[in-house]
Structure 1
Amino acid sequence: MSDKLFLDTNILVYAYDSSEPEKQAKAQTLLTQGIERENTVISAQVLGEFFVVVTRRIQKPLSAKQAEQVIDLLSILSVVEIDLKLVRRAVFIHTESQISYWDSLIISAAERAGCTKILSEDLNAGQAYHDVRVENPFNGARTNQNVQA
């Protein structure tokens, strides 16, 4: 069985952003594999951030309706909800690791879901936060086998 993977917002955004075709293809592959293998997790925070970015910040923004439909599709993945306990854990990680609160909330959600890896372009690749390690799936040195194992 493969490790549980947590997808950061940027992975989802690249899947729907045609301005970087190589990253889009890689992100779409990760999403497809995650759905097929049932080992991929996101959080309510990731979905919210995704909505804002794809409707405002990408070269060819989606309409709010299109983004809502994508969110409905993405809800097939396991989605970690945000609650007080998760917020408190994020504050602890933020204080301990000196990273942004929002990144700490991602890490907290990944921990809660039992993920061993966070796939992200924004967090420090190779960095471990407790039992969760960050990998950048867009690094040329990383292959599909590396990010799935």
Structure 2
Amino acid sequence: MSTTPIFVDTEVLLASVDERDPARQARAREWLTFCWQTRSGRISSQVLNELYNQAIQRFSGPHVLQQVRAQVRRLRVWLPPHLDAYTVDGAWDLQDRYGLGYWDALIVSSAHQQGCRYLLTEALPHDQVLDAVRAINPFVLAPKELDTAE
């Protein structure tokens, strides 16, 4: 199995706690477990902010805020870099060359900046390669299939 850095998009993190779709939740958790065990998980400050914002909008209950904040704190261990000029310039370049939306381009640029070969996302077509970053739909491919899908 690969220990190459893997960038995890917001939707994967949200799916891991969403009990409305158990199969999807299980697959998201499988990927996150893999990322924790191999120390390959990467995110950005953009992902942490999106996670917090979308989770408090999507889920209800008396403890949602505390649970989401705890998850954000745990994910800080992955040391997400702050948005800088290099990442923004890279996003603009990706946006122009590949016709991406700005927020998707920013995610790809952040993944590239952190040396990630893979980006777990549903926002881009599965197997699309953007420079050195390959989009992987985590609900199509399991972690154990990652090296065999090359």
How does the TM-score come out when normalised to structure 1? 0.89
- Matched with 2:56 is 55
Q: Is the aligned partner of 1:143 residue 2:142?
A: yes
Counterparts of residues 28-107 of structure 1 (less than 5 Å): 28-58=29-59, 63-107=64-108
CA shift, 1:62, in A, is 6.0
CA shift, 1:145, in A, is 1.6
Counterparts of 1:60 and 1:101, CA distance in 2:
32
RMSD over equivalenced CA pairs, Å: 1.9
CA gap of 1:60–1:20, structure 2 versus 1, over 3 A, is: farther
Deviates more, 1:69-78 or 1:126-135: 69-78
**Matched residue type, 1:68:** R
Percent of counterpart pairs with the same letter? 29
Q: Is the 8 A contact 2:31 2:142 kept in 1?
A: no
- Matched with 1:24 is 25
Counterparts of 2:139 and 2:29, CA distance in 1:
12
Q: Is the 8 A contact 1:6 1:115 kept in 2?
A: yes
**Matched residue type, 2:25:** Q
Larger RCO (CA under 8 A, 6+ residues apart):
2
Q: Which runs of 5+ in 1 are unaligned?
A: none
Q: Secondary structure at the match of 2:146?
A: helix
Q: Secondary structure at the match of 1:30?
A: helix
CA shift, 1:2, in A, is 2.3
Q: Which runs of 5+ in 2 are unaligned?
A: none
CA shift, 1:143, in A, is 3.0
How does the TM-score come out when normalised to structure 2? 0.89
CA shift, 1:77, in A, is 1.9
Counterparts of 2:147 and 2:58, CA distance in 1:
29
